[in-house]
A and B are shown apart, each in its own frame.
Chain A
Amino acid sequence: GESVGLHLPTLSVQEGDNSIINCAYSNSASDYFIWYKQESGKGPQFIIDIRSNMDKRQGQRVTVLLNKTVKHLSLQIAATQPGDSAVYFCAERRSQGNLIFGKGTKLSVKP
């Protein structure tokens, strides 16, 4: 079926290390993907997006990689900080504009 899901529900990393959060999608026709960060008690916050005609996109301390062959998306966070602790969602944009979200990965950063 059509779904966007995450490989790991939780991820714990040491402060200063790099974090990698993975996401699998099943709709091969998907052409636009977004990563959101959700802190406790807040709404999802846009981090970075990528179109299907790209395989990599970089932002500030974040990089998104897209592998269309295996329908896999990843978010890399460099030099992870305590403020990065949150739940991270990948989302797929539908043609009507709405988002289909994965289940989320909780990132915990150990000081």
Chain B
Amino acid sequence: DSGVTQTPKHLITATGQRVTLRCSPRSGDLSVYWYQQSLDQGLQFLIHYYNGEERAKGNILERFSAQQFPDLHSELNLSSLELGDSALYFCASSVWGTNTDTQYFGPGTRLTVL
């Protein structure tokens, strides 16, 4: 158990819908990262937040957004869902978000878009 929690574990929805994925980092960690894992693209970095502020963006679609709240939990919002958005979504947390930090991953949310 990494100490990072994600809810829900599974999510099934229809195209065009909007969903919210939730992540709680390890106690004391200030940084949260979101990654998408699909069969064809592998593990891809989406976005990084540090202490409530966006730090870096990766391959995140405009239909996707995220935020980190004062209690440091983070939410990833996916809208206008398409079949291709079906994937595993992981969040990871680290203490500072620097090169020397180890990122610990949560168990993931499996999103299925029908």
Contact = CB atoms under 8 A, between A and B. Distances in A.
Interface of A: 31-32, 34, 36, 41-46, 49, 89, 91, 93-104
Given A44-B105, A46-B104, 11 more contacts: A31-B99, A34-B102, A42-B108, A43-B4, A43-B92, A44-B43, A46-B102, A93-B99, A96-B48, A98-B45, A101-B43
Interface of B: 2, 4, 31, 33, 35, 42-45, 48, 55-56, 58, 90, 92, 94, 97-99, 101-108
B82 to A, nearest CB: 23
Given A97-B31, A97-B55, A98-B48, A43 B105 contact: yes
Nearest to A49: B102
Contacts of A32: 99
A46 B43 CA distance: 14
B99 A98 contact: no
A34 B33 CA distance: 16
B3 to A, nearest CB: 11
Contacts of A36: 105
B94 A97 contact: yes
A34 B70 CA distance: 30
Contacts of B44: 101
B98 to A, nearest CB: 6
A93 B31 CA distance: 15
Nearest to B90: A43
B42 A101 contact: yes
A43 B48 contact: no
23 contacts: A34-B103, A41-B107, A43-B4, A43-B90, A43-B108, A44-B43, A44-B90, A44-B92, A45-B105, A49-B102, A93-B99, A94-B45, A96-B48, A97-B31, A97-B56, A97-B101, A98-B45, A99-B43, A99-B45, A99-B92, A100-B45, A101-B42, A103-B42
